[in-house]
């Protein structure tokens, strides 16, 4: 969803007007980030030394039910920002750093992109 364009461009917002398909794909990912609980979950996972977090450690940080937390995590996973694996009783989550990097690249200004191109 966040892959490079055919021409190798990362699809920066400042490079050229986005076409409808690309805008729709990107909007889904930004929408996944457009919620405070999901942002906090993502940062809890992303900032974890060792790289993965048990869902049993995420839930107590919120005054929300386990199914609600699981729903938010599902949206992050559907956006391609995290992945997970069940091991026994619990599900473990980790971020997909390349997805965050590609999203960061999309936001780069013309000046900043020119400096690193």
The Cα–Cα gap between 38 and 53 comes to 14
93, β-bridge pairs: 53, 84
Residue 69 binds a copy of itself, judged by CB under 8 A:
no
Residue 2 binds a copy of itself, judged by CB under 8 A:
no
Residue 26 binds a copy of itself, judged by CB under 8 A:
yes
Neighbours of 93 (CB within 10 A): 24
Name the burial class of residue 15, with classes exposed (0-12), middle (13-18) and buried (19+) by CB atoms within 10 angstroms of its CB.
middle
Best CA proximity match to 76, nearest among 57, 103, 50, 49: 103
Residue 117 binds a copy of itself, judged by CB under 8 A:
no
Q: In whole angstroms, how close is the CB of 88 to a copy of itself at the nearest point?
A: 25
| # residues near a copy of itself by CB under 8 A | 42
Q: In whole angstroms, how close is the CB of 66 to a copy of itself at the nearest point?
A: 19
Q: Which helix (H) or strand (E) holds 93?
A: strand 90-95
- Contacting range for a copy of itself; rule: CB under 8 A; set: 2-10, 33-41, 67-75, 85-93: 33-41
Q: What residues make contact with a copy of itself under the rule CB under 8 A?
A: 13-18, 20, 23-24, 26-28, 30-40, 42-44, 46-47, 61, 95, 97, 100-101, 103-105, 107-112
């Amino acid at each position: 969803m966040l892959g490079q364009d055919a021409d190798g461009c990362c699809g920066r917002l400042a490079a050229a007007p986005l076409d409808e398909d690309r805008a729709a794909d990107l909007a889904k990912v930004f929408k996944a980030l457009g919620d405070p609980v999901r942002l906090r979950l993502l940062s809890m996972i992303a900032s974890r030394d060792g790289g993965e977090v048990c869902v049993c450690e995420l839930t107590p940080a919120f005054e929300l039910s386990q199914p609600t937390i699981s729903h938010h995590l599902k949206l992050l996973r559907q956006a391609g920002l995290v992945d997970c694996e069940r091991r026994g009783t619990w599900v473990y989550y980790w971020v997909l750093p390349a997805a965050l990097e590609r999203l960061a690249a999309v936001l780069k200004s013309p000046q900043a992109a020119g400096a690193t191109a």
